[in-house]
Amino acid sequence: MTMEEEAPLHELRVEQPRMALNRAYTLFHSSLLLALLYHRATSLFFPSDEYPRLAVVLARATLFAAEVMGALLWVLAQGFRWRPVARTVFPDRLPPDNELPPIDVFICTADPEKEPPADVMNTVISAMSLDYPPEKLRVYLSDDAGSSLTQFALKEAFYFARSWLGYCNKNRVMTRAPEAYFSSCLHGDGELHGSALMEKEKMKLMYEDFKQRIKRAEVDYKLKDHKYSTKEHTSSIQLIHEEATDLTEEEKAKMPSLVYVAREKRRGIPHHFKAGALNVLLRVSGILSNAPYVLVLDCDMYCNGPNSARQAMCFHLDPKMSHNLAFVQFPQAMHNVSPSDIYDGSMKWTFELLWKGLDGVGGPILSGTCFYLKRKVVHDTKNIYNKGEFLSTACDMLQLRQRIGPSHPLMGAMKQSSTENSITDILSKGSVLIQEAHNVASCSYEKETQWGKEVGFLYDSVVEDYFTGFNLHCGGLQSAFCVPARTQFLGSAPINMTDCLLQSKRWSSGLLQVAFSRYCPLIYGTWKMSIPLRMCYAYTAFLPLSSLFLLCYALVSPLCFFNGISLFPKASTPWFLVFAGTYISCVAHSMCEKFSLGGSFGTWWSAERMWMMRSVSSYLLGLLSVTMKQIGKAEVDFELTNKVNDEEQAERYAMGIFDFQGGGVLLFPLITVALLNLACLIGGIGRMVIEASYDALLAQVFLGALAVVASYPIIEGVFVRKDRGKIPISEILKPLMLSVVIMSSGYLIFSL
């Protein structure tokens, strides 16, 4: 029996009746949108009311432009809903362990002050504990700070992992991150009794001792005023196995290899943020191990289950799809999301609904972490094939040197599927391979090569995952989305407003960098990608432009309402039903999707409110950041979110109270819009009552009230709260003055 005739390693099922309902809704809502835009266009060009003034015409034209933009974004979003699918994997049908391919694990950390070493080590330990042959698993930690504290913590993690791996295998532990395992509310591994319980308590004491050693080291470094630089340091590569002198070779063979990598960084030489760190890991691991598959994890995204590697291999080893499969994406889930989820940090809607839809039209977007990548596909990211072969295999050594640099071991590695150097092999070759690894980790190695341009993770955007995945799909490759019954990876969501908006600003900046470049998904690589997949990529890239759509409604509508000017059909006319029906259709569909994922009205409202807040704040600032870059005034920066646990912030988050500490410029547009809408609503209602213009202004009353309700956390933070999480007075004055200026200007303009 051939491999093609054997039982399949996975199965795909189209989700019905969801697909049919999605298409029916698309047809229904499209008719409403067309009717709305028809009325808006005819009333704009053939006005028949009492507002002929130029200012009013411009206000309506602005709203019309915003509605056209919103409609286009909605049309693009239907690509996610065109063909939702679900996959089932069968790991028990995989080849025996000795035939499984090696895997390199990449974990990236950048700053021990924002990413606590103890938390990073939990991710490292969980990756080392994957249910996969240990001799085929290599774990690389990239430390972009070059911190000796992180080096120390990694060595401690290796020593703790000696006992932890044996304990997990013996007791069939599912949660392989010790912090989560020893938190009884999280791991779900069942109750232990007798000697097993005693063994668990002993292991817990070992883990607490491990954490205390790291904490003492943190204190020592602070007391000694230990300095490290995230922007300038030499390269450092350590084989942690080599320093484990008390382990026998037999004991080492039972553990995955662990490697510390800090690339060289120098001021004035671009380091390209996470994409640069990943490319260094590709080169270093290419020399030391060169596994054909790579698992990429963020430092806070630990393995919640041990089976992801085998589940991913059900796709990569499937003969029906492995030839053009680039990566297998797992969903990102968060362990610290509160029931109210006030910051919409769970990401369930994205991964459990949108990414399932992507899987049916070509595969999910590369999502930064929790994915198993075929190494060869990033050897030539933009030009995948050359007469059916990967270019790294097809081109000669001279061409390869021009593409990836002068490292002969690296060129040799790219010419073969796997180097499979054991740790003993590396040490037996003396310092040759280690020295070569230092060479490819230098900040000057990429000069006059194609790294970041056509090789590896691409540099033209701070969202290197989206941009790289897009180019892989443009090259004719596909991806797969694996959603097992047990969540395989868990991370931490932002628990304060500042980090939430900062994260969204970074994403929106990177997406718009792609949208406004020659790689715009609407025009680039059209012949190898399905239309629905292209629509999904375009929607994701242009989503931050929803800030313009929402700002038009948040500014123009309240100003007109305050001045008694109607922008919508009268409530007594049939056309009012078109506008009301369009809004109700959107809300009802959004609710149905949220409820189908197990959400509640509260979590739905939190998601809607955060979409509005992100649009007004982080999406707008991301757009401004990219605009400044386009005119050469500034560079888009990779702003790291703080992952240090703050008990006071965590308490407020659990209670569903917003925390605005350190918001600064991120809060400026939010406060301005909130104060403006509140003042306009109060003044507009007074005017409407005096003039008895209920029929003409009903829609704007509703929109104003909706804006104020959505802005209530901001208004509360300005006027009511006294705790540390409130908005400080220093951040209120400028938005207050700007809102007064906008209202006054609007009054003068509409009075002319």
- Six-digit token string for 235: 């390269």
Identity at 180, one-letter amino acid code: A
144, 344, 460, 659: the catalytic one is: 144
CB 380 within 8 A of CB 390: yes
The answer to whether 114 is annotated as binding is yes
CA atoms of 634 and 224, how far apart (whole Å) = 36
φ/ψ of 377, rounded to 5, equals -70, -25
CA atoms of 134 and 475, how far apart (whole Å) = 34
341, 460, 465, 499: the catalytic one is: 465
The answer to whether 144 is annotated as binding is yes
CB 394 within 8 A of CB 387: yes
- Six-digit token string for 701: 């009353």
Q: Which long-range contacts (CB under 8 A, 24 or more apart) does 235-238 make?
A: 235/262, 235/263, 235/264, 235/438, 235/441, 235/442, 236/143, 236/146, 236/151, 236/260, 236/261, 236/262, 237/261, 237/262, 237/284, 237/434, 237/437, 237/438, 237/441, 238/151
Neighbours of 387 (CB within 10 A): 6
Per the annotation, the verdict on 695 as an active-site residue is no
CA atoms of 103 and 137, how far apart (whole Å) = 5
Please name the helix (run of DSSP H) or strand (run of DSSP E) that holds residue 143, with its range, or none.
strand 137-143
Q: Are strands 103-109 and 293-298 parallel, antiparallel or unpaired?
A: parallel
CA atoms of 319 and 316, how far apart (whole Å) = 8
CA atoms within 13 A on the CB side of 431: 4
The answer to whether 115 is annotated as binding is yes
CA atoms of 222 and 218, how far apart (whole Å) = 6
CB 355 within 8 A of CB 400: no
Largest Cα separation within the chain, whole Å, is: 90
Q: Are strands 325-329 and 389-390 parallel, antiparallel or unpaired?
A: unpaired
Per the annotation, the verdict on 104 as an active-site residue is no
DSSP string, 191-260: ---HHHHHHHHHHHHHHHHHHHHHHHHHHHHHHTT----SSSB--EEEEHHHH-TTS-HHHHHTS-EEEE
CA atoms of 520 and 54, how far apart (whole Å) = 36
Torsion of CA 372, 377, 379, 381, to 10 degrees: -110
Look at the alpha carbons of 217, 222, 228, 229 in this order and tell me if their dihedral is positive or negative: positive
Q: Which long-range contacts (CB under 8 A, 24 or more apart) does 514-522 make?
A: 514/460, 514/461, 514/463, 514/466, 514/467, 514/470, 514/541, 515/541, 515/542, 515/545, 516/626, 516/630, 517/460, 517/461, 519/460, 519/467, 519/470, 519/471, 521/470
CA atoms of 364 and 373, how far apart (whole Å) = 13
The answer to whether 274 is annotated as binding is yes
CA atoms of 347 and 106, how far apart (whole Å) = 23
Using CA atoms, how far residue 149 sits from 111, 262, 618, in Å, is 10, 12, 33
The answer to whether 570 is annotated as binding is no
CB 704 within 8 A of CB 684: yes
Torsion of CA 159, 163, 164, 165, to 10 degrees: 100
**What percent helix, strand, coil does the chain show, rounded to 5?**
55, 10, 35
Listed residue (537, 514, 516) closest to 631, CA to CA = 516
What stretches of 679-752 adopt beta strand conformation (E)?
none
Catalytic residue positions, numbered = 144, 465
- Binding residues are 114-115, 144, 274, 298
Residues annotated within a binding site for Mn(2+): 274, 298
Q: Which residues are annotated as a binding site for UDP-alpha-D-glucose?
A: 114-115, 144
